[in-house]
Each structure stands twice: as structure tokens, then as C-alpha cells.
A and B are shown apart, each in its own frame.
Chain A
Amino acid sequence: MRIKSGSIRHRKKKRIFKEAEGRVGGRRRLWRTVIDGVIKGRVYAYKGRKLKKRDVRALWITRLNAACMMRGLSYSKFIHGLKLANVGLNRRTLSELAIREPQIFDEIIALVKGALAKAA
């Protein structure tokens, strides 16, 4: 007896069409273009999850640089000073502190400047 995969395939297509919601034209309606778009979309999503980590770290560094520059220190000097002063805070926490708790960040800067002066 020949078995067709009717209902199984229907279920699969339904799932994929659901994923393709919100797209334009045939990329939402037509199976051949929908399946392409969904697979490609998953590829981009995978890539995006990896890239996000780099992008956000770069953003923290940009923000930290601004916070350091207005206190008379460049980012690179700041990081060097952190190592000297044995401060283990990561860039994310530091940038958050610079935005939300500027006074605490001031203290960290003072600590770093002290360590830099000592090393020099």
C-alpha cells in the first residue's frame, strides 16, 4: 500500500508558514520562497547571536571610553590601571556603573589613577 505523507507534511508546512509571518509577498505565502527565507532567517539568527556578544562588548568599550575621557583618562590607560589596581570588574559592569552610579565610577577612576601613578 502506498502511503502519502499528507498530514505530516501539512503540519510541517504549517509550522514553517507560521515562522514566515510578517514577511512581504511571496516570502510569506509561497512555499518555495517561504522555506528559503525561513532557513536563511535561522542562519542569520544563529550568526546574530554570536555577533551580539562582540557588538555589545564594543558598545561597552565605547561608553567606557567616553566615561574615562571626561575624567581625563583614555580607555587603554584605564584598563591598564585596572589591572595594576587589581580590580576585577568586567566591562559590562563598569559601563553600567558609569551610567547609573557616576560617583562610584569616580572612585574607581581615582583608584586607577592612584595605581597608575604608583607604577610610573
Chain B
Amino acid sequence: MTTETRKIPSIKRRKTANHQSFALTVEQAAPCNKKWFAVDADGQVVGRLATRIATVLMGKHKPDYTPNVDSGDYVVVVNVDRIRFTGRQMSHPTIPYYTTKTAQKVYQRFSGFPSGRKIMTAADRLAKKPDDILMNAVRRMLPKTKLGRNMLMKLRLFSGPKHDHQAQRPAEFPTFV
């Protein structure tokens, strides 16, 4: 009886992968290496703009994005009061781009007390706190962590066409994000 002994090729255990590829780089973490971008919110749809801003704040537009480091750039937004919601266009004395959604969309808060439900339409909010709408939209798209909250510090909103970050010389907002 011959038993053929097949030689099983021994699998050499490879050394664990060199995980430098996702380690943080010092240059990246340094705030001086962050870029500034400016974007005009005039007539832009809130959510569409917010996703692009959130991408840049997180740094996901860069090939060296690192999730445990704030690798994002600064974003300056002007004309936040001239933001648009989708829907049928209607006329309004003060609000530009007044649509059906601006009139109907409801922002709710609940204080925790009985009958503590506060309701505000998008139109009310736009009139009262114009930058709140975009700020909230972006905030909720960022990671719900300390890092995420710090990322929001890099977002600067201005109602009206002017901003006071000329010193930082913000570049044009990248179109590919």
C-alpha cells in the first residue's frame, strides 16, 4: 500500500501589513497647512450645498484623508440668507427664492416639558436667524464626535455678499466635490 504523500506548500506567514498608509502625517494635522475656500450660497439648494461643504470640512476631498485627524479645509460662505429650498417659486416681500418648501418645511424642537414643542417654518427661521439653516444642515452631516464638532469651527457663514476673511485669501470652492 503506497500512500502518496502530497507536499502541502507551506504558506509563509507574511509580516503584518505596514500600516503607515493610514497613519496621520504631522504636516496634515498642522493648522497652517489648511486651505481656505469661499463659496457663494446665493440661490443654492441647502442640502446640495451642505453636502459639499461637509465633504471639504471633513477633508474627504483630499487623497490623504485621515479619519482620526481633522484633515479638512476652511470654508467661508457668503449670502447664506439667500439660500434656496426646492419647490415651486412663490413671491415674498423680503425672502429671495421663496418656494413652497420654504413656507412648509418645519423645524421642530422639544424642550422636554409638557407642550414644549416649538415649531418654526423655514421662512421664519430664514428671517430670524439666516445662518442657522445652513449651519444646522452641515452640522448634522458631520461626524457626531468631538472631532466633528471641532470641524464645524472651520465653517464661517456670512449673510450678505461680504466676508471678513480677506486676509486668508480664500480660493474658489472646488467644483469636483
List chain A positions with a Cβ less than 8 A from chain B.
56, 59-60, 62-67, 69-70, 72, 92, 95-96, 98-99, 102, 105
Contact = CB atoms under 8 A, between A and B. Distances in A.
**Majority secondary structure of chain A interface residues (helix, strand, loop or mixed):** helix
A66 B174 contact: no
Contacts of B22: 56, 59
A112 B65 CA distance: 23
Main DSSP-derived SS at the B contact region: loop
A70 B176 contact: yes
Contact of B63 (A63, A72, A92): A63
A82 B61 CA distance: 21
A66 B65 contact: yes
A69 B52 CA distance: 13
Contacts of A67: 63
Nearest to B58: A62
B177 interface: yes
B176 A69 contact: yes
Contacts of B67: 59
A66 B21 contact: no
A99 B19 contact: no
Contacts of A92: 17, 21
Contacts of A66: 60-63, 65
Contacts of B21: 56, 60, 92, 95-96
A76 B48 CA distance: 21
Given A95-B21, A96-B21, A70 B174 contact: yes
B19 A64 contact: no
Interface string B58-73: 0011111101000000
B64 A72 contact: no
22 contacts: A56-B22, A59-B22, A59-B65, A59-B67, A62-B60, A63-B62, A63-B63, A63-B64, A64-B63, A65-B60, A66-B60, A66-B61, A66-B62, A66-B63, A66-B65, A69-B176, A70-B63, A72-B176, A95-B21, A95-B63, A99-B63, A105-B63
